[in-house]
Amino acid sequence: MTLRDLRRAVPMEQKELAEQIGVSTLTVSSWETGRRRPKAAHIRKLADILNVNMKELLFVLDSTKMAHDVTTDARQGARDSLSAPQGA
């Protein structure tokens, strides 16, 4: 389950969610991909709008962030191995 899944289950578009919370659609997108985490004040609003409890929402946000970090680390590792000098 991701933040995007929760939003779509309502159902709601990113733009509508952004307007209800008072942020940009880019910010909502960043939350959904795990690039950024919502501020505490936004987390309460998200939970209310998405009809989930705070504990569930925090779990989803943490899971999304971890998945983003793993993907980012894997990409960086691939870049590093491609740019590393080949030994003789």
Model confidence band, residue 12 (pLDDT cutoffs 50, 70, 90)? very high
Q: Which tens digits make up the pLDDT trace of 22-66?
A: 999 999 999 999 999 999 999 999 999 999 999 999 999 988 877
Position 74 scores a pLDDT of 64
Q: Please check whether residue 88 lies inside any domain of the structure.
A: no
In a domain, 87, yes or no: no
* CATH code, domain with 21: 1.10.260.40
Question: Is there a domain that residue 13 lies in?
Answer: yes
User: Is position 70 within any domain?
Assistant: yes
Contact at 8 Å (CB) between 57 and 46? yes
Residue 50 within a domain: yes
**Host domain of residue 67:** 3-82
User: Exposed (0-12), middle (13-18) or buried (19+): which is 28, by Cβ within 10 Å?
Assistant: buried
- Domain count of the fold of the chain: 1
